[in-house]
Structure 1
Amino acid sequence: MNRTLPHVALSQHAHDRHGELRRDEAWLDERWHDAATRVLVISGARLRPVDGKVAWVPSADAPPGGLRLLLGERDEVEHFALLVDPTEAPGDREEWVPLRSVVMGLVDDTIEDGPLVMHAIGMAEWHAATTFCPRCGDRLEPRQAGHVLHSPRCGRDQFPRSDPAVIMLVTDGEPGSPEERALLGRSPAWPAGRYSTLAGFVEPGETMEDAVRREVAEETGVEVGEVAYFGSQPWPMPASLMVGFTGRATSTRVDVDGAEIEAAGWFTREDLRTQSEAGTLVLPSGVSISRSLIEDWYGGPLTGQW
């Protein structure tokens, strides 16, 4: 792989999550009231950006109430998320945008916020979906700075979880040659011209490598032999961990399933360059691992994105 390229943007700039301090209420309260602490306010499934960027505010400027979630420390600054009820969110509701839009806007000078923002979004999605204990039905109570939900009735704890999904760039032809091709596909729900790498969830009892082979075969009819790990990226919308792979095709005939994949095809590097420059081929966002897989194989940046 060409490591001179940015590699899996949203997996860089990790923060210290201070997992061992989540039970220390005195420490948490002290950090919350520190003037240097920064807070990301989340209302339901929305954020309120400022000038198109993620808005971290001093805790003194955060709205009252809500659930405080410890994210952790980066560059000697503590970060929290604050989950507030949509009916109590400050400002005009139209100022609040969907979480996915915020993530797609993480570029250049804001990309280092990626792990913190993904951590906050994942926790917000989990809290929104996890209200009652699956064993006894009692309402759950947050503990450990929001990272545990506890049932007072049966004593069972719930923890945040991520569903593993594979995402892969499958290639054919002599590696590095002008004739080498990459397999891309498109969903029926996407606008014309939008293509991406293939992806799918890992099933119980299945290795990730076998999931790569199964998903590619199911969606496009292409058989895959060798599979190699590329990198991973959180994608908590609502709760996925995208695990990236490259694969080598052992067959090339494309026969799409027509359900998840509407069309798929093989693209040389020249195809990617000319079609993306012409706007007839629109590739994924620069913050996605899909984009990293494509540009790593291509050998440099490409034009245009979703």
Structure 2
Amino acid sequence: MRHAETVTFGGSALDRAGEIRGNPEALAQLRADPAARAVVFWRGKPLIAPERPAALARLAMDHPVLHEAEGTAILLGREDGAPRFAVDISGWEPADLDQSQLGAFLDPSEQRHPLLGDDMAFAELRRVMTWLDPRDAELAASGKAILGWHETHRHCARCGSATDLAQGGWQRVCPDCGGAHFPRTDPVVIMLITHGNSVLMGRSPGWPEGMYSLLAGFVEPGETVEAAVRREVFEEAGVQVGAVSYLSSQPWPFPASLMLGCAGQALSRELTIDPVEIEDALWVTREEMMEVFAGSHPRLLPARRGAIAHFLLENWLADRLT
């Protein structure tokens, strides 16, 4: 495995059991397997044992908490031969729920279900993603992404009729027009743009004060990855980019992106910020970035740990991007 594949949410080689998805009888047998376990989510938050080293919880398929499940359990794959399913219990309402923290950039809240032990809690995946090992992280990201897709795609995009779940949860079919719909994944380029010894950094409105990251943007229809890199950097910062190369990728289930990490060589250093796109941009030298990662820079904070931006910058500093 290339070092570039060790990014968070990648690299666990989960057996996704794609050959089983279209076989209802085989799926029923997997759900009834005594070794089958459910990865449980509440409003996008996975159930974990948060005491470090944290672990993704796996509940037996007959656990009482699963009686509150919404919809059918979705097959995530097989782990050491044992089936793993994603189950959503978002209908449960915690007694002490603080709505103000849900969905925030940093959500420190944890929710504990009365039918579960105090050692298990629902936690925001962006907060705990670096606590999990690669297998737990892949299961959590896959479950969050597929459940999020079902939540927002319950009706046919062609005719508006309610759709039915199919293929073990990896497809929705319209009973009226016959339309088949598959999980959405949006390609996003995220760019390590360098000029000499410096890297281009930007920040979006609403981020914590001092936090900067790599520039990023969605790939448009009919556009190559390389063209998207050049367009996004020019639109956001006014910088022309020459050579572009692929580095690494990361599934990012917030809600449904595939981050395509690329390197690009800037042809100039002059910045022209588009305030509609970003709040600020600047060039940061390698020496300054080392201070940022050490936590000793007087003004800048590093990109979120666990995100591909942090991964690319860390490995740029260590000269190990391949």
Q: 1:36 offset after TM fit, Å?
A: 2.4
CA distance in structure 2 between the partners assigned to 1:51 and 1:200 by the alignment: 32
Partner of 1:216: 233
Q: 1:254 offset after TM fit, Å?
A: 1.4
Deviation string 1:42-89 (CA, Å, 9 cap, x unpaired) is 2333334332643222222251243210000133332110123x3346
User: Which of the numbers 76, 85, 88 marks the counterpart of 1:80?
Assistant: 85
User: Which of the numbers 275, 278, 296 marks the counterpart of 1:258?
Assistant: 275
User: Which of the numbers 284, 287, 292 marks the counterpart of 1:270?
Assistant: 287
User: Which of the numbers 250, 262, 266 marks the counterpart of 1:233?
Assistant: 250
> TM (normalized to structure 1)?
0.87
> What is the letter of the counterpart of residue 283 of structure 1?
P
Q: 1:275 offset after TM fit, Å?
A: 3.5
Q: What is the count of residue pairs matched by the alignment?
A: 292
- For residues 123-272 of structure 1, the aligned pairs below 5 Å read 123-173=146-196, 180-272=197-289
> What is the letter of the counterpart of residue 87 of structure 1?
G
1:244/1:39 CA distance change after superposition, 3 Å: same
Q: 1:165 offset after TM fit, Å?
A: 0.8
1:101 aligns with 2:124: yes
Q: 1:14 offset after TM fit, Å?
A: 2.6
CA distance in structure 2 between the partners assigned to 1:185 and 1:297 by the alignment: 17
> What is the letter of the counterpart of residue 138 of structure 2?
P
1:70 aligns with 2:85: no
SS of the residue corresponding to residue 87 of structure 1 reads coil
Mean Cα deviation higher: 137-146 or 98-107: 98-107
> What is the letter of the counterpart of residue 289 of structure 2?
L
CA distance in structure 2 between the partners assigned to 1:4 and 1:153 by the alignment: 47
CA distance in structure 1 between the partners assigned to 2:29 and 2:163 by the alignment: 26
1:294 aligns with 2:298: no
Q: 1:260 offset after TM fit, Å?
A: 2.2
Q: 1:96 offset after TM fit, Å?
A: 3.6
1:10/1:135 CA distance change after superposition, 3 Å: same
Q: 1:257 offset after TM fit, Å?
A: 0.8
Mean Cα deviation higher: 270-279 or 116-125: 270-279
CA distance in structure 2 between the partners assigned to 1:91 and 1:75 by the alignment: 37
1:190/1:103 CA distance change after superposition, 3 Å: closer
CA distance in structure 2 between the partners assigned to 1:28 and 1:103 by the alignment: 31
Partner of 1:30: 29
> What is the letter of the counterpart of residue 306 of structure 2?
V
1:7/1:88 CA distance change after superposition, 3 Å: closer
Q: 1:297 offset after TM fit, Å?
A: 0.7
SS of the residue corresponding to residue 9 of structure 2 reads helix
CA distance in structure 1 between the partners assigned to 2:218 and 2:129 by the alignment: 25
Mean Cα deviation higher: 25-34 or 189-198: 25-34
1:162/1:217 CA distance change after superposition, 3 Å: same
Q: Residues 168 and 244 of structure 1 are in contact (CA less than 8 Å); yes or no, is this contact kept in structure 2?
A: yes
Q: Residues 48 and 122 of structure 2 are in contact (CA less than 8 Å); yes or no, is this contact kept in structure 1?
A: no
Mean Cα deviation higher: 155-164 or 95-104: 95-104
Unaligned runs of 5+ in 1: 174-179, 302-306
CA distance in structure 2 between the partners assigned to 1:228 and 1:207 by the alignment: 12
SS of the residue corresponding to residue 246 of structure 1 reads strand
Q: 1:108 offset after TM fit, Å?
A: 4.9
RMSD value, Cα: 2.5
Mean Cα deviation higher: 292-301 or 267-276: 292-301
Partner of 2:59: 57
> What is the letter of the counterpart of residue 45 of structure 2?
R
Unaligned runs of 5+ in 2: 99-109, 113-120
Mean Cα deviation higher: 101-110 or 21-30: 101-110
> What is the letter of the counterpart of residue 84 of structure 2?
H
Mean Cα deviation higher: 40-49 or 211-220: 40-49
SS of the residue corresponding to residue 32 of structure 1 reads helix
> TM (normalized to structure 2)?
0.83
Q: Residues 7 and 292 of structure 1 are in contact (CA less than 8 Å); yes or no, is this contact kept in structure 2?
A: no
Partner of 2:300: 281
